[in-house]
Amino acid sequence: MIELDCRGLKCPLPVITLARRIAEAEPGETVRVLADDPAARADIPAWCRMKNHDYLGEPEPGTYEIRKKSS
Amino acid sequence: MADIAARAYLDAASSAPLHPVARQALLAALDDGWADPARLYTEARRARQLLDAARETVAGVLAARPDEVAFCASGTQAVQLAVLGGLGGRRRAGDLLVHSAIEHSAVLHAAESHVSGGGRATSVGVSRAGAVDPAEFAAAVRAPGVALAALMTANHEAGTVQPVAEVAAECSAAGVPLYCDAAQSVGRVAIPGGWSLLSASAHKWGGPPGVGVLVVRKGVRYRSPLPADERESGRVPGFGNLPAVVAAAASLRAAESEREAEAGRLWPLVDRIRREVAASVPDVEVAGDPVARLPHLVTFSCLYLDGEALLHALDARGFAVSSGSSCTSSTLTPSHVLEAMGVLSHGNVRISLHRGTTEHDVTRFLAELPGIVADLRATAGVSGL
């Protein structure tokens, strides 16, 4: 699992970081994003929807999990 | 710099340009309506006649009785009085306020004030398109101890029209008064019936700033949250701005007479924006209901863009728009509306048209937007992500 520490980054930088680094993940692999910008809560799930990745949820506040699409 | 003459003002939902009828009425009323309408001499009677006529006009448009209409110092004041006065009047029935998650911040701040005073509030979520589910809203209203329900007629950021008629029927069955914030709808679309309290704001329909409208239906319990004052049926304190009220009423009458023609003209322009932005800008999300919507308002979000940078770039090219992105808000939090809908909050732009908006303005906007977005993405190094 890849973990991206985006704490301290303001919107839209956490989503940009995620979009750049998702390339490093294998298809189906989980990527975890740590982000404390309040916009991440809306924007990470929205990005997943727009890019067809699976948004897995926010297991704890400020931690977001994404599963990279399989192809 | 863009020529000032080439500017397109596309933020009517924040404040519409003054209707020419409002300007004429304001100037006339400054001469004729300066006296205290509560006094008993000739000058006062003239002011009183102007105030009464304004009240009748506004009541007529809202299908209300004149004595149900009070003029306030702003739309925000009308919201605050409607929420707190509506709750206060129902203190014996309960202390719970039910509201949608996408109400204007003025409603949400009034709800916070109610909660900080010991009351309770429940928020009802919305669909991705930005509408409440009437069954879900009704279930919340049927809970014990509900004093007041608040549902806006249409959302100010997404343009989505709310199912007010259905919700009003459910509220009526539950014996709960319904308050509707109609700020974005009055003068734009037909106002649904069934509400107990309603508020609106004149500068959204082309009236002057500083005039709000509070309507409390006969028989609805209302208890002013403010100290006693004899003005406006005891609902709004202070010597009102009569010339502005007269101008507000005159412009509402004008907007109402033009309403259907204007809606018919602006609706396809918004359809065109929705369609062409989605087709010409990569990685964009056009939000709100494409059909159950206001005729003049649309919002969209561009992936990877800073809303403030987008707003400034559009301004430099002659377009005045607003944004719900967090970087454009004083609190640095994203729009609670976009968040509740679950749509992208960054890179957000809201376009709202008015009677002065031309097809040429929209064509120019649509021609320039893709290049502006592409340039900003290239500068940020996010092209092709």
Contact B346 A20 (CB under 8 A): no
* Tens digit of each residue's pLDDT (9 = 90 or more) over B285-342: 999 999 999 999 999 999 999 999 999 999 999 999 999 887 777 777 889 999 999 9
B4-17+258-380: which CATH topology? Aspartate Aminotransferase, domain 1 (3.90.1150)
* Mean pLDDT to the nearest integer, B271-282: 98
Chain B residues 307-366 with a CB less than 8 Å from chain A: 325-327, 332-334, 338-339, 342-347
In the structure encoding, which two tokens stand for residue B367, read together? 């021609």
Q: Residue B69 pairs with which residues in a beta bridge?
A: B215
Q: What was the ipTM of the complex prediction? A: 0.95
Number of structural domains in chain A: 1
Asked if A57 is an interface residue toward chain B (Cβ–Cβ < 8 A), one would say no
Which of A9, A11, A41, A48 best probes binding to B when mutated, by most B CB atoms within 10 angstroms? A11
Residue A6 falls in the annotated catalytic set: no
Asked if A50 is an interface residue toward chain B (Cβ–Cβ < 8 A), one would say yes
Contact B339 A46 (CB under 8 A): no
**Burial class, B60, CB count within 10 angstroms (exposed 0-12 / middle 13-18 / buried 19+):** middle
Shortest CA distance from A14: residue in chain B = B304
Asked if A62 is an interface residue toward chain B (Cβ–Cβ < 8 A), one would say no
pTM value is 0.96
Task: Categorize the per-residue pLDDT at B349 as very low, low, confident or very high, splitting at 50, 70 and 90.
Answer: very high
Which of the residues A1, A7, A11, A51 is marked catalytic? A11
CA B252/CA B121 separation, integer angstroms: 33
Whichever domain contains A52, its CATH number is 3.30.110.40
> B20-254 belongs to which CATH class?
alpha beta
* Mean pLDDT to the nearest integer, B203-227: 97
Question: Could you tell me how many CB contacts below 8 A there are between chain A and chain B?
Answer: 63
Please measure the distance between the N-terminal and C-terminal CA atoms of chain B and give it in whole angstroms: 31
Please measure the distance between the N-terminal and C-terminal CA atoms of chain A and give it in whole angstroms: 17
CA distance A14 to chain B (A): 9
Percent share of chain B, pLDDT over 70: 99
Question: What are the DSSP calls for B129-180, one per residue?
Answer: TS---HHHHHHHHTSTTEEEEE--SB-TTT-BBP-HHHHHHHHHHHT--EEE
Which one, of B162, B99, B151, B123, lies nearest residue B289 by Cα? B162
- Domain range for A51 is 2-67
CA B247/CA B252 separation, integer angstroms: 8
Q: Where are the domains of chain B?
A: 4-17+258-380, 20-254
Asked if B126 is an interface residue toward chain A (Cβ–Cβ < 8 A), one would say no
**Identity of the residue in A16, A20, A43 whose CB atom sits nearest the CB atom of B345:** A43
